[in-house]
Amino acid sequence: MNFKFIKFVAIFLTFVFVPFFSYAQIPSLSPEPVFSAQPVQYQEILEPTISISPDYFYTFDEVLYIEGRSNPNAIVTVTLQKQGEQPVKFTIKADSSGEWVVAEKAYLSAGNWQVRAKQQVGGILSGESNPRVIRSIVTGVNIFGLNIRYVVIAIVVFAFLFTLLIVFIYFHRKIARLKKGLLEKHLHETEERFHKGFAELREDLMDQLKDLANNTAGRVLTPEEIDKRDRIIRQLEELEQNLEHDIGDISRKAE
């Protein structure tokens, strides 16, 4: 019985496993996909060239002009850089012959700026060209984006100072005229007071002389009377001199 069982197992293995292994070793007749490792093609384009750029650029007086060549119809980016400053960029399109031009008004702070160019053709971007140096010379100031030249500032300052000078001269003369008018008025009032006081004193002294003459009529004057008469005459002379001196001082102050 054991022999029959072993024989049965052998027959089963022969009809089941042998065909399976045989089928697994038969090569497939269906085509398999073929993968070929082809290298990726990288296209390279040369950097554009800058043929014309200014050595010196007067940022307030000139238009920045840069000229160069690239691939035909390429998109060219021109970049100006200076340490500590924001880059200044211009994007232009080359013509069918590859020529491109930048002609723009631009503010560049004083100093040396490096200018480079690169181009883009389709989705391919080139490297940057060799730098060229532009020395910017500033002849003015930039205030809130407004370029003002030093010449204009000088003219405005001169006009302002000239206006101040005219205003000063006008008010100086006006004040001088007012001062002169006040002094003349004061002089006139002072002269009137002096003349009035002088008239009163002169009248008093003249009355004294008249009394002295009336009292000494028909006789020789005594020494005391002569001395009194001379004293009255001297007082009149001193009064006239003091009046002339005071009026002269006031007149000089009014000039």
* Mean pLDDT per 10-residue segment, the chain (255 residues): 55 52 43 44 77 94 95 97 96 96 94 97 93 93 75 89 94 88 78 73 77 74 80 79 70 61
Cα separation, 95 vs 220, whole angstroms: 135
DSSP strands (E only) in the chain: 49-52, 56-58, 64-69, 75-81, 88-93, 99-104, 111-121, 124-125, 132-137, 140-143, 146-149
pLDDT of residue 249: 66
75-102 residues labelled b (16+ CB within 10 A) or e (exposed): bbbbbbebeeeeebebebebeeebebeb
- 219 SS3 class: coil
pLDDT of residue 33: 43
pLDDT of residue 35: 40
Q: How far is CA 244 from the centre of its chain?
A: 64
pLDDT of residue 167: 95
For residues 225 and 208, the answer to whether their CB atoms sit within 8 Å is no
Q: List 148's β-bridge partners, or say none.
A: 141
pLDDT of residue 50: 97
- CATH superfamily entry for domain 49-138: Immunoglobulins (2.60.40.10)
Tokens 């399109």, residue?
A: 93
pTM > 0.85: no
pLDDT of residue 7: 56
Domain ranges of the chain: 49-138, 153-254
